[in-house]
Structure 1
Amino acid sequence: MKRETLLTALTVTNFGLLAGLALGRALPATAQGEPGMLRGSGLEIVDSEGRLRATITIQPPAEGATETTLLRLIQPDGQPAVKIGASLTGAGLSFVGGDDQSYVILDADGAETRLRMVEPGGRERFLTP
């Protein structure tokens, strides 16, 4: 008699677990109310193949420079194509062409601003106010 009771209890338990799994897949998943805050000292985004494609980092102060926050958008070959940086003393933005020989740098450092444009073959142009 004990054996039949044990087998019946085990069968009912298995049936309950199976029903719970079936309901979990049948009901739609919903987000939990308000989205939370993501906090950390850096962020890396990778593509489906595991290659690094974007980063947000905080660079520690270097000799003669202040701490810098840096955003990089990276091409599939690993070359940063867009960089945006900000520090206590200034900010900058750069775009690099696919050939790695053409780029644009926009920089505001203290009271000075400048735009540097470089094309393949070494052609270069600076713009300042």
Structure 2
Amino acid sequence: MKIQRLLIVLTILNLALLLTQLFQARPTLAQSVAPVLRGKGLEIVDDQGRIRASITVLPGSTANKQPFPETVILRLIDGKGKPLVKLAASEQGSVLGLLGDSEPTYARIEANGASTFVKLTNKDGHEQVVKP
């Protein structure tokens, strides 16, 4: 009989604690949104895990005895993995490349230092360059 009373008292105590927790529960508020996303690069992937867009910071380097400054590149990539849009920026200038569905179809707009040009190439390899 004493064990039954003890179990009843413990059950009532547990119920009281549970009700206290339920009535004191406050709604969970969404955490504040960070004002900035920071990182060394960003990749956006599709449902199959393929990279479809990326932003990358390439460190400065030297190739063929020519210095290349640090460059930021944005690439938009099709489902086959081919970059169709490239936007690059560095201290020297910027380039926008738009690629077609077949080689070597592309359009290139470049501002490098004090010079600028637009270069258009079609599938047959015919080019047209426009300079000011």
TM-score by length of 1: 0.77
Distance in 2 (alpha carbons) for counterparts of 1:101 and 1:12: 76
CA–CA distance in structure 2, aligned partners of residues 77 and 14 of structure 1: 56
Separation in 2, partners of 1:62, 1:117: 28
Give 1:57 shift: 0.8
Specify the SS of the correspondent of 2:124: helix
User: Which one of 67, 75, 80 corresponds to residue 70 of structure 2?
Assistant: 67
| Secondary structure, aligned partner of 2:96 | strand
Aligned to 1:2: 6
Runs of 5+ unmatched residues, structure 1? none
Which amino acid is the alignment partner of residue 35 of structure 2?
G
What is the rounded CA distance, in whole Å, between the counterparts of 1:11 and 1:100 in structure 2?
A: 73
- Residue type at the aligned position of 2:52: R
Higher helix share: 1
What are structure 2's unaligned runs of at least 5 residues? none
Partner in structure 2 of residue 120 of structure 1: 123
Could you say if the C-alpha distance between residues 10 and 101 of structure 1 is closer, same or farther in structure 2, counting changes exceeding 3 Å? farther
The match for 1:40 is 39
Q: What is the RMSD of the two structures over their aligned residues, measured on CA atoms?
A: 2.5
What TM-score does the superposition give when structure 2 sets the normalisation length? Answer: 0.75
Provide the rounded CA distance (Å) in 1 between the counterparts of 2:84 and 2:101.
8
Figure out how many residues of one structure are paired with residues of the other and give that number: 120
Gap change, CA 1:11 and 1:90, over 3 Å in 2: same
Larger radius of gyration: 2
Percent identity at matched positions? 34
Tell me, what secondary structure is at the counterpart of 2:109? strand
CA distance in structure 1 between the aligned counterparts of 2:49 and 2:41, rounded to whole angstroms: 17
